């Protein structure tokens, strides 16, 4: 399963209606810490395939989603289960910290 790029048009379908828990990476191309976290998120998406869906939301292109979910700093990783936010991590984390958060959500 690859990481899906999600917009306001498909957020409902790809995140809120997804049967698996979903990790949403709110990021922007100019954000240094986002560039560090991005490859880690992609690796974790592959390693947790079938247990976790992973999506990325570019906050510059999807300002309404960023406002709706109260994204004030990036990267912000938000975990959804059955359409409800269950965990949020703000700022860059290493791979083991993120896998630990995934394990808690799963």
Supply the residues annotated as catalytic. 31, 34
> Residues of 14-48 as b/e, b for ≥16 C-beta within 10 angstroms?
bbeebebbbbbbbbeeebeebeebbebbeebbeeb
Bridge partner residues of 84 (DSSP): 81
């Amino acid at each position: 399963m690859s990481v899906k790029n999600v917009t306001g048009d498909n957020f409902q379908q790809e995140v809120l209606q997804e049967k698996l828990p979903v990790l949403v990476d709110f990021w922007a191309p100019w954000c240094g810490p986002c560039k560090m976290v991005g490859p880690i998120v992609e690796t974790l998406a592959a390693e947790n395939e079938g247990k976790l869906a992973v999506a990325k939301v570019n906050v510059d292109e999807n300002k309404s989603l960023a406002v709706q979910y109260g994204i004030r700093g990036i990267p912000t990783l938000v975990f959804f289960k059955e359409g409800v936010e269950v965990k949020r991590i703000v700022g860059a984390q290493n791979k083991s910290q993120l896998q630990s958060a995934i394990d808690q959500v799963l």
